[in-house]
Amino acid sequence: MQSDEITAAFGNWASSLRWDALPQPVKDMARRELLDIIGDMIAGRALLGVPPFMTAMKAWSGESGGCATVDGGRVPPAAACMINGYYAHGLELDDTHDGAVLHAGASVIPAVIAASEMRGAVSGKEMLEAIVCGIEIMCRLGVATDLDLVRGGWIYSALLGHFGAAAAAARILQNDAGVIARALGMAYVLTCGNHQSTREGAETKHLQPAIAGSNGLLAALMASQNVDAVVQPFLGEDGLNRVYLHERLDARRCLGGLGEVFETSRLSFKPYPSCRLTHPPVTAALELHQRIGTRLGEIKAITLRMGEQAFNVVGRSTANRLRPETRLDAQFSAFWAVAVALAHGELMPIDLKREIPPSAEVSSLIAKTKCVGEAGEVGAREIGRCTLVAEMTDGTRHEVVVESSKGHPDNPLSEAELIRKFVRNLELADIPLDLAHQTARDILALDQRGDAAGLMRELSFAALRERARAA
């Protein structure tokens, strides 16, 4: 049986990708993506500690192994992918592709790091090539469907993360078009990642991209051993298109400009530790705070208008969104995110501790807020625009419209801003400023390293703290 056109094209393109031939904006994005994900991992470990379910992960795969984790441990590859992926995604600070509506790095990068340790003697360029390969495949699949998160019921970060992680890990383990294609076929057997965790505010939401990374690595390992995987995972009779995406995967959109136009260059870096769908409202709230910050007590009512997809995910007036008691409920509440941004003039990772449950000031602002979903908005699968209106007790009103929230490619974080985010993330782990800045420089220069397979060992939470003590 012949491979479907998507599988064959991805395999051929991925195996031929070379760092030196990539456009400079794609190279810059790949380096910044790695910087951002590692910073998010360290911040996640610093704020989240060691959840009890980590014991289950280690028991499942064994306590010892050859792959490093951000908390300083060494465990088998499957657990390393899951632990690093969880910490990368746990604070909701990791990248998004706003058009594909997914997080890309939390699945792909842990799989690349683990595969590199397993192979050994992997150059920085090879690691970055694999990261571009995995993220590009994942994001192309995401933008090629117009099925939104609610109607589909899938978290695309996890569902499509399987394919990105599988291709990226295969690129490291055995760079061959046939192996990469087999890895994609094997990944389809393992795919999972639904939206119910988000609905319930369950911690498993932040585990799902990590599971995708671990499953993707398994798919790559099996493919490298000639597993007889399916060859039509995307367009086969029971492939991803029909079974998961309701016949709404556009192969032409998926493959158009492959190798010339890069979705990787359209990644968004997140300035706020909450669902990306809350970021337009947070951007609007911060602008409103600048206008009326000393008059917050005079706000009579707040109306937030957003696209239908965003409303369904973060704007519904459910009890867990109006008074979040867990981190995930807060991160998926437009009410909470707007109120915190208004109250403090910022939304920072520390708010995941100090404002859960919400303080009296934040609770008061939440009580005054109404969210409205606007059906039929053009580009509704995009993160989208929003309008925030505050009505004051003196009868005046303030309106803020946000077309592209901070971090979007049309309103990007500069490299300097991204480094500041990285440094602030490392501050949560008590890493001194000079060491944090040096670490950022080292990551951004990864393509100059001859052997980068030990990257996670050098940049673990424990290793950086030891370097800080030694200094």
Per-residue pLDDT of 226-264, as tens digits, reads 988 999 999 999 999 999 999 999 999 999 999 999 999
Distances (CA, A) of 458 to 121, 351, 353, 466: 15, 29, 28, 10
Instruction: Return the minimum-mean-pLDDT range out of 48-52, 230-234, 306-310, 375-379.
Output: 375-379
Distances (CA, A) of 12 to 15, 111, 128: 6, 20, 18
Q: In this model, does residue 58 exceed pLDDT 90?
A: no
Mean pLDDT value across residues 126-130: 98
- CB-based contacts of 438, cutoff 8 Å, min separation 6: none
Burial 266-293 (b: 16+ CB within 10 A, else e): bbbbbbbbbbbbbbbbbbbbbebbeebe
Q: Cis peptide before 271, with omega less than 30 degrees from 0? A: no
- CB-based contacts of 75, cutoff 8 Å, min separation 6: 57, 58, 61, 62, 63, 64, 65, 67, 69, 83
pLDDT digits (tens, 9 = 90+) for 5-21: 999 999 999 999 999 99
Q: In this model, does residue 379 exceed pLDDT 50?
A: no
Least Cα distance to 105 among 270, 326, 272 occurs for: 270
Q: In this model, does residue 391 exceed pLDDT 60?
A: yes
Whether the predicted model's global pTM rises above the 0.85 cut: yes
pLDDT of the residue at 63: 60
Tokens 């424990």 correspond to what residue? Answer: 462
Q: Which helix (H) or strand (E) holds 114?
A: helix 105-119
- Tell me which DSSP letter residue 89 carries: H
Mean pLDDT value across residues 97-121: 96
- In this structure, the strands spanning 67-68 and 386-392 are unpaired
Contact in structure between 164 and 292 (CB atoms under 8 Å): no
Mean pLDDT value across residues 69-79: 91
Mean pLDDT value across residues 406-419: 93
| For the chain, percent of residues with pLDDT exceeding 90 | 84
Contact in structure between 401 and 288 (CB atoms under 8 Å): no
Contact in structure between 42 and 84 (CB atoms under 8 Å): no
Mean pLDDT value across residues 77-84: 93
Beta strands in 242-383 (DSSP E): 267-268, 299-307, 369-374
- CB-based contacts of 252, cutoff 8 Å, min separation 6: none
Q: What's 5-268's CATH class?
A: mainly alpha
Phi–psi pair at 470, nearest 5 degrees:
-65, -35
pLDDT digits (tens, 9 = 90+) for 172-214: 999 999 999 999 999 999 999 999 998 888 889 999 999 999 9
First CA to last CA distance, the chain: 60
- CB-based contacts of 466, cutoff 8 Å, min separation 6: none
Could you please report the per-residue DSSP string of 391-431?
EETTS-EEEEEESS-TTSTTSPPPHHHHHHHHHHHHHTTT-
Beta strands in 217-297 (DSSP E): 267-268
pLDDT of the residue at 380: 56
Q: What is the CATH number of domain 276-402?
A: 3.30.1330.120
Tokens 């981190």 correspond to what residue? Answer: 327
pLDDT digits (tens, 9 = 90+) for 351-378: 999 999 999 999 999 999 999 998 765 4
| For the chain, percent of residues with pLDDT exceeding 70 | 97
For the chain, give every domain's residue range.
5-268, 276-402
**34: Cα within 13 Å, side-chain hemisphere:** 30
Measured CA to CA, the distance from residue 451 to residue 447 in angstroms comes to: 10
Distances (CA, A) of 341 to 96, 189, 436: 20, 42, 26
Instruction: Return the minimum-mean-pLDDT range out of 130-144, 265-279, 366-380.
Output: 366-380
pLDDT of the residue at 381: 62
Q: What tokens appear for 183 in the block?
A: 């890895």
Measured CA to CA, the distance from residue 92 to residue 349 in angstroms comes to: 9
Measured CA to CA, the distance from residue 80 to residue 118 in angstroms comes to: 11
Q: How many CB atoms lie within 10 A of CB 241?
A: 24
Q: What tokens appear for 165 in the block?
A: 């992680």
pLDDT of the residue at 378: 44
Q: In this model, does residue 317 exceed pLDDT 70?
A: yes
Distances (CA, A) of 82 to 108, 208, 210, 398, 430: 11, 9, 4, 45, 24
